Amino acid sequence: MTREEKTKEIIKRLSKLYPKPKSALVNKNPLQLLIATMMAAQTTDKLVNTLTPALFEKYPTAKDFADANVDDIAEMIQKVNFHSNKAKNIKAACKIIVEEHGGKVPATMEGLDALPGVARKTANVVLNDAFQKPAGIVVDTHVIRLANKLGLTDPVKIEKDLMEIVPKDQWQYFGHYLTYYGREYCTARKHAYEKCPLKDLYVEKEQ
């Protein structure tokens, strides 16, 4: 089975389990998704979702965040890892959004990548889920681990490799497929391997 054939089979199986999956971060617009994704770096989506309702109620627009006291933002997100740096980046990113983008989150990889605290992974989440404009594949720890277990790529050039074998109309979903699958069936911890729906496709067998 080629990597392309295996990828098609993975998509076939996981699209039945998770039809058109999106980020687990609760949001109502591109700004909320951007900020929630920035907060979620090295922090669980579940924790972020407990903090964002109050945060977004207090700061509903990019201008509100840009004008806010950074210490106030930091206090509201203090449960996330590196909350002080994230608060500074959120305020700085929103200042750029207001001054250079008319208060609207940019809908391009270049525009998003230029924002403080926004790397390619965050930009991909926003482009894929908020704008339905996939420019790449979201790569998180689950995707890295499972893409290697499935023999699809290596850690150094994972997104590039996946973009070559995943059909472009699936870029928006593929990272989410593996993330949801990794959380539910194939965790990094020891688990019931025989229940994994993709177990026959693994090249890295569990011990």
Tell me the catalytic residues. Answer: 121, 140
If we measure between CA atoms, which residue out of 170, 157, 126 comes closest to residue 27? 126
Token pair 């911890």 in the structure block, residue: 189
Number of H helices and E strands in the chain, helices first, is: 11, 0
* 116, burial (CB in 10 Å: exposed 0-12, middle 13-18, buried 19+): middle
Contact 52, 26 (CB under 8 A): yes
How many other C-beta atoms are found inside a 10 Å radius of the C-beta of residue 173? 24
DSSP 83-99: HHHHHHHHHHHHHHHHH
| ∠ Cα 9 10 15 (to 5°) | 105
Q: What is the DSSP letter of 68?
A: S
Tell me the chain's radius of gyration from C-alpha atoms: 18
